[in-house]
Structure 1
Amino acid sequence: MSPQPKSIANEIGEERQKIWLRLAETHHVDELSIRRLQNRVIRLLEDKAINKSAVRAMLHHELGYLYAYQRSLDAAIRHLDSAGRLGLPEAPLRLSKGHAFFLNGKISESRVSLDGIDLGREDRQMLKSLSGSYAASGMFRRAQQCADEYGEAGFGYGNVKRAAAIMVDLGIDDVEVTNRLQTAINAIMGEIKHPLMAYSVFADENEGILFQFVVDGSIDEIVALDNKIAETLSEKYNSDVDSVLAIGVKPHVPSEENIAYEPYHAGLQ
C-alpha cells in the first residue's frame, strides 16, 4: 500500500525540522539537503492526486520555510501565503511569516505579522512559540504576557521580564526597540552567511538592556560587526531608550543557551 498524503506531509514536516535543528546547531546552511527536500515537495505539489487542501497547505508551509532558510524571502512568503489560502489558520500563518521575516533580517515586517495575533485565543504550544518570537522583535511586554499565560519560565524569561519592566518604567514604546533592531541588522545582514536564528537578552534595572544577535564568525569578525552596529546606531538615534538599550552580536557557540526563535510545527492528525 502506498503512503497516504497525510503521512507523507507529516514526514516532510519531520525532515524539515531535522534541517532546522542542524542549521540551528551549526549556523551553516546545508544547501544540498534543503534542495533535495524542496524538490520532493515541489513534485508532491505537482501531483494532482494530492488534492486535499489541508495536505497541500502543509506542503506549501514546509516549502516556505525551506526557502526562508536559504534567505529567499519572496519565495518563502509566496508559499506561506498559499498555505493560508488553502486553510492554514491565521495565527499559525502570522507566526510562520513572522519567523520567515526574522530569518531574513526583516524585523519590522516580523513585528507587523506577529502583532495581529490574538493572544487570548492561542493554545499552549502557540504561546510557547510566540514568547520567543515577540522578544526577537523587541516586543518584550507581549513576550512576557505569553510566557505568563504559558505558565512556564524558559527562554530567558527573567531577562525578558526585566526588559519589559524597564520599558514600562521609562514609558518607552517598544516599537522604538524594533526600529533599532532593524537598523542594527540592516548594517550587518549582508555580511552574515546564514539566516538569523537565535539571540540573547540581558536586562538589569541598573545596567539596562543588552540585545545580541547570535552569528557565526571569528572573534575579529564579531568585533567588527559589533562596532559597525554601534556606529550605525549612534549616528541615527539619541533619545531616552538609547540610554538603556544596547544592541550587538555574539558568536555562535553550540554549548551556549540562547533564545532560539523556533519555527512553527505544522502537522496533520
Structure 2
Amino acid sequence: MNAVQVPPVWAVDTESLTVRFGGVVAVDRVNLQVARGELRCLIGPNGAGKSTLFKTLTGQQKPSAGRVRILGQDVGRLERHQIARLGVGVKTQVPSVFDGLTVGASLRVAAGRHRERRPVAAVVDEVLEQLRLGAVRDRQLATLSHGQRQWVELGMVLATDAQLVLLDEPVAGMSEEETARTAELILSIRAGRAVVVVEHDMRFVRRIADRVTVLHRGAVLRDGPVAEVLADPVVRDVYLGREEHVRA
C-alpha cells in the first residue's frame, strides 16, 4: 500500500494574495510559500509592493482578495496580536524599544510572552548568549549604538520563541561591521524556524538568503536560489530601471 502523501505545513503560504488601495494594486495575486527552517529574502525596487506584503503577513494590512496562511492557519481575518500568538515575531526597520529600560529588562518583558512559558531568567540568559549581548546586559537602550539596539529588538523576538521571524530591512543604517555581524546572527537563529527578510542591500542578501523572491509592480517577477535570481538579466534591468526589457 502506498504511503499517504501529507502536504507540507508552510510557515508562510499565500494564494493569489491581492491588496488594493482604491484603483491601485499594491500586491498583485502573489503566491508565496516559505518552508520551516528556510531563510527567504523579499527584494524589489521602490514601490514593488514589499512593504505592503510584509504588512499583510503581520496583520497590519488586510487582503483585498486571496488567502494568507501562517504556520498552517488562515490569518486573513486575524488581528496583529492574534497572529503574534501563533508564533510570529516581527522586527521593524525602526527599533520599537524603550530607551529607559536596560537590555536585560527589555528581554525579560519579551520572555514573559514565551510560547512554552519557560522560566524567564533562563530564556533571557539564552538570548543574551546567542546574540552575544552579555556585556551590555545592564546598560540602558538609550546608550547603545544603532546596531546594538537592532540586535536587542531581534533578541526580544527570539525571547518569545517565534517560529516565524519577519525582519524589515534589518541592516538599514548599519556600518559594514554591524552588517556583517547581523548576517551572522540571522543565520544563527534560523534553526527550527522560518525567517523572512525584506531588504535592499544586495550584498547582505547574498550573504544570508537561501531563496529570493523578487517583486515588481506588486507581482512576483522571479523566485529561486539567490545566486541564480540575482544573476538574472531581467532582475538586473528592473533594479537599473530598464523596464522595457522586462518580460511579461
Give your verdict on TM over 0.5. no
Which has a greater percent of helix?
1
TM-score, normalization: structure 1?
Answer: 0.27
- Larger relative CO (CA 8 A, sep 6+): 1 or 2? 2
Which has a greater percent of strand?
2
